[in-house]
Amino acid sequence: MKQDFGIYIHIPFCVRKCLYCDFLSFACDKDAQEKYMEALYNEIKAFGPFIRNREVSSIFIGGGTPSVVEPRLLGRVLGFIKENYNVNPDAEITMELNPGTVNKEGLEEYKAMGINRLSMGLQAWQDRLLKIIGRIHTAKRFEESFFLAREAGFKNINVDLMLSLPSQTMEDVKETIEKVTALGPEHISAYSLIIEEGTPLKDMFDKGVYEEADEDTDRKMYHFACEMLEQKGYGRYEISNFAKKGFESRHNMLYWRTNEYKGFGLGASSYFNGERFHNTDNMEMYLNSSYDHNMIKEDTEKLTKEDKISEFMFMGMRMTKGVSKAEFYDRFGLTISDIFGEVIDKYKKMGMVCETEERVFLTSEGTDVSNVIFSEFLL
Ligand code: SF4
């Protein structure tokens, strides 16, 4: 069976760091951005021969905030890929952007260079919450950017939301979902806040400035959001991702189905030729050596058959429709029950896993303890 192949492009720049963020991103001037984009171009150009036999079904330009970089620099990189790589004409090409970092002309340029999907970070509708987590925009700014994107012709837009934010109430979640769904984006993701070590928000929690949402509140908020989004026509297709019919993200699906992808840019991760690795996160090293992928490649791990089986199960079970028994057999020459029969039976009896003729998937109860269940698929 032919598998989708994806490309990820990392743009590590942001206007300012959000207080909860531990991604590889930072503020930086135009000159440094130009140098970085040149190095990125060199990396993509040099890697071309290794990728020519793959058909690219999705490209994801993420970060960071790709929209802080001048559109012409992104256009050059994307143009090279489209001209020199084997990109499917129907490929999903997504770009992340933050409200307040785009204007009409820029959006039209993104459209013209072939970007056909936007992913916008809103997180919450309440300006008080946006301020607490250090976002650079207000809800109004988001709304303006959303309308500009529609005017520029984008017909496939994702909006990112966050749950369990400091002082966020169920009423806040309700208002956020009402306002966002009224705009009619095609896709919505809703992740719970993870308090990461080393972030200013973690310090504030440690000092008692904010109180962490307890597990019970977090689960209630999540289920409330799921139900409300379903009612508004957004089907949940993965633990935290919702879409109108036919707008499930191809790039996301590729990760959850453990298909291969190549990441370009500072710190970008890849799964390529059966190996997982990432690029250096040292900017100087990246700028000087991006043309030689062996020099910037780090932490290479060749996956064993057991690793692949485990990943296929715990990533696949994130999806609402779960794992296909036929695909499992196709990939590994074994049935799911040969390997995981006991685990599946155990969780079926507890009402946390469901099994049909074709598939195995988590129930709603199983979703709440997904990490515990996933750990049982480790071989
Ligand atoms: S915009 Fe995104 S990548 Fe940038 S600091 Fe905020 S959360 Fe991190």
For residues 136 and 362, what is the distance between their CA atoms, to the nearest angstrom?
A: 37
Query: Quick check: CB of 176 below 6 Å from ligand 1?
Result: no
Atom of ligand 1 nearest to the CA of 64: 3
User: Is the CB–ligand 1 distance for residue 130 below 6 Å?
Assistant: no
Distance 200 CA to ligand 1 centre (A): 13
Ligand 1 atom closest to Cα of 134? 6
109 in the Ramachandran plot: left (φ > 0), alpha (ψ -120 to 50) or beta?
alpha
Beta strands in the chain (DSSP E): 5-11, 55-63, 86-97, 117-123, 157-163, 187-192, 235-238, 241-243, 261-264, 269-272, 275-279, 297-302, 323-324, 353-355, 359-362
What's the confidence (pLDDT) of residue 53?
87
Phi-psi region of 359 (alpha: psi -120 to 50; beta: other; left: phi over 0): beta
The token pair that represents 348 in the structure block: 């079926």
Residue bearing tokens 């021969």:
49
pLDDT tens, the chain, 379 aa long: 677 899 999 999 999 999 999 999 889 899 999 999 999 999 999 999 999 889 999 999 999 999 999 999 999 999 999 999 999 999 999 999 999 889 999 999 999 999 999 999 999 999 999 999 999 999 999 999 999 999 999 999 999 999 999 999 999 999 999 999 999 999 999 999 999 999 999 999 999 999 989 999 999 999 999 999 999 999 999 999 999 999 999 999 999 999 999 999 999 999 999 999 999 999 999 999 999 999 999 999 999 999 999 999 999 999 999 999 999 999 999 999 999 999 999 999 999 999 999 999 999 999 999 999 999 999 9
* CA distance linking residue 222 with residue 216, whole number of Å: 10
Pocket mutation for ligand 1, best pick of 19, 22, 23, 165 (most atoms within 8 Å of C-beta): 23
Please, which contacts does 87-91 make with residues 24 or more away whose CB atoms are closer than 8 Å? 87/55, 87/56, 87/59, 88/55, 88/56, 88/57, 90/57, 91/56, 91/57, 91/58, 91/59
> Is the CB of residue 201 below 6 angstroms from any atom belonging to ligand 1?
no
Helix H, strand E, coil C: the string for 295-328 is HHEEEEEECCHHHHHHHHHHHHCCECCCEEHHHH
Packing angle between helix 336-349 and helix 305-316, nearest 10 degrees? 40
Q: Is 191 near ligand 1, meaning CB less than 6 Å away?
A: no
pLDDT at 39: 98
Q: Is the CB of 14 under 6 A from ligand 1?
A: yes
Is 18 close to ligand 1, i.e. is its CB under 6 Å away?
yes
Query: What pLDDT, on the 0 to 100 scale, is given for residue 1?
Result: 61
Q: Whose CA is nearest to atom 7 of ligand 1?
A: 21
Residue type, 322: G
**Residue in the structure block whose two tokens are 């620099």:** 73
User: How deeply is 59 buried, as exposed, middle or buried, from its count of CB atoms within 10 A (0-12, 13-18, 19+)?
Assistant: buried
The atom number, within ligand 1, closest to the CA of 17 reads 5
Distance 12 CA to ligand 1 centre (A): 9
Q: Is any ligand 1 atom within 6 A of the Cβ of residue 120?
A: no
Do the Cβ atoms of 303 and 311 come closer than 8 Å?
yes
- By most ligand atoms within 8 Å of CB, the mutation choice from 10, 13, 25 for ligand 1 is 25
Atom of ligand 1 nearest to the CA of 63: 3
120: tokens are: 């916008």
Query: Does ligand 1 come within 6 angstroms of the Cβ of 21?
Result: yes
> Torsion angle of alpha carbons 242, 243, 244, 250, nearest 10°?
-160
Rounded to whole angstroms, how far apart are CA atoms 94 and 62? 8
CA 125 to ligand 1 center in whole angstroms: 17
d(CA 142, CA 58): 26
How far, in Å, are 118, 133, 180 from residue 146 at the CA level?
10, 21, 10
351 C-alpha to center of ligand 1: Å?
A: 38
